[in-house]
Amino acid sequence: MQQAKAHTETVEDTGEGLLMRSKLDDLSVWQSVRRFKRVGCIAMLAAFSASLDGYQINLNGGIVSNPGFIRQFSTSGTTIIAGKYISAWGGIQSAGQTIGQILLQYATERLGRKAAMMIIWVVLTALFASVALKELKANDPLDFRTPIYTQWAMIGCILVAFLLIPESPWWLASKGKVDQASQVLNRCFANVEGYDVNQQIEIMTSTIALERQQAEQNSELGPWAVFKGRNLIRFIISGWPKITQQFVGLAVFNTYATYFFQYAGNKDPFLVTLILSSVQLISMIATATLTDSIGRCPLTVYPYAVTVVSVLCLGIIGCFDYAAKATSSLLIFFACLATFSTTGASAIGYAYAAEIPQQRLRAQTAGWSLAVSNCIAIIFSFCTPLMINGSAKWGVKTGFFFAGTGTVAVTIAWFILPEVARRTPAEIDEMFEKKVNLRKFDKFVTEVQVHAHELQDRKQVVDEV
């Protein structure tokens, strides 16, 4: 830690103040992709490891409608597994995710962060899992073990990806390993025109030092710092987009999509989930393209509002003969609409989980916020199958329930989600410390911005002279 402190003190001694923003922060998504090709490849490798995990997660939700799986685990003489068993199956998975998210954050803080996950690859492997299950149904419908065995290969590929991915320079800088952080940046950004490694290290160490100073002043230290002071508000905000996805009905049209459409009488539920996965992919491409130009908040709140309307329409369809061809098509249409709108908004949830917390608390805040989301997922993983095919026998009318819970969650999101697109960590810290109205983050001019522009103008004058 001494190296980091020494570096920050050197910056302060210049009399120019701390630099916490560079010109590179003003680049658009596609400008960044074109300029930082090597880093793009590393990010894709990290994302691919997430895709392998996504394969396993989505496989668990789809295999419950495999004929062989049903024959093995259902009551004799039935064609669909009872809701209480599906509840246990899904609840165990969500519980495992929650435990991992709570415990792993402390390991990553201590040992480092070797992976950054991107939701688009989870979506891609949801598509792969749907394709695999559909082909299996066509060729050997009673074989449910083969897809389960394929998960071992995914684990091996994840290990290979983790070995190739470099450590996070932000984490290295936070631990005082400035030289190692410089080496990583030099490796990743070699030959990139206009990239100043020393300047980036200065931004990192200055931001981290200021965060620690503010934490000491506000008594926001210790293992529970995530829940102290302004960090508690940041924790709620960082987790709310992912929490909202649970309340708008993710369990219906994603987790248990195959089971839902099987209960609704669709003859080929795997084909429907394949269509939904394709819709997710389109949604992710659109979100990645528009997120910086339109903003995080609009692409989160408005799509979730569309999802609420969609699940309401699903509930209304449930009041009629949804097995008929016309209403069955409407059922699929609104499921596709809900999937399209929720996928993009959910993906931006990961951006909020990464951007809203202080850099020093990023792993803990993201871990806890996602864990809370999964705790709610455990509840719905257990309750949703019982709503669809339990004693309640709501079936498609389950949409009414999620329209109600979704309305409440989206309304809260409208008031608490700030716009942080193209903001640096130091700018976000400043706005939270100054208690800027959450709805006015996008218009607020920070001291970090003003100071960065002053330094750039001063440097330009010196260069001209």
Burial of 230 (0-12, 13-18, 19+ CB in 10 A): middle
> Does the pLDDT at position 117 exceed 60?
no
pLDDT band at residue 255 using 50, 70 and 90 as cut-offs: low
239-258: average pLDDT: 82
139-158: average pLDDT: 64
243-270: average pLDDT: 73
The pTM assigned to this predicted structure is 0.69
> Does the pLDDT at position 149 exceed 70?
no
39-64: average pLDDT: 71
Lowest-pLDDT range of 82-96, 104-118, 270-284, 380-394: 104-118
245: DSSP letter: H
For residue 342, which amino acid is it? T
pLDDT by residue (tens digit) across 310-360?
999 988 988 887 777 777 778 878 888 888 888 888 888 888 988 898 877
pLDDT band at residue 115 using 50, 70 and 90 as cut-offs: very low
> Does the pLDDT at position 14 exceed 50?
no
The domains located in the chain, with CATH, are 26-191+223-422 (1.20.1250.20)
Residue 140 φ/ψ region, left for φ over 0, alpha for ψ in the -120 to 50 degree band, beta for the rest: beta
pLDDT band at residue 411 using 50, 70 and 90 as cut-offs: very high
Lowest-pLDDT range of 52-61, 246-255, 324-333, 407-416: 52-61
How many percent of the chain have pLDDT more than 70? 65
Mean predicted lDDT score pLDDT of the chain: 75
Under 8 Å between Cβ of 19 and 452 = yes
Under 8 Å between Cβ of 370 and 242 = yes
449-455: average pLDDT: 74
pLDDT band at residue 414 using 50, 70 and 90 as cut-offs: very high
> Does the pLDDT at position 233 exceed 60?
yes
> Does the pLDDT at position 138 exceed 60?
no
The better pLDDT of the pair 365, 58 is held by 365
Cα–Cα distance for residue pair 252/270, rounded to 1 Å: 15
Under 8 Å between Cβ of 20 and 431 = no
> Does the pLDDT at position 51 exceed 70?
no
Residue 196 host element (H or E): none
Under 8 Å between Cβ of 395 and 263 = yes
Under 8 Å between Cβ of 221 and 237 = no
**Residue bearing tokens 């200021």:** 210
pLDDT by residue (tens digit) across 15-44?
455 666 767 776 777 777 778 878 888 877
Looking at residue 8, what is its pLDDT?
Answer: 36
The better pLDDT of the pair 58, 386 is held by 386
Distances (CA, A) of 447 to 8, 429, 434, 439, 460: 18, 11, 11, 19, 20
pLDDT band at residue 77 using 50, 70 and 90 as cut-offs: low
217-223: average pLDDT: 67
Looking at residue 437, what is its pLDDT?
Answer: 92
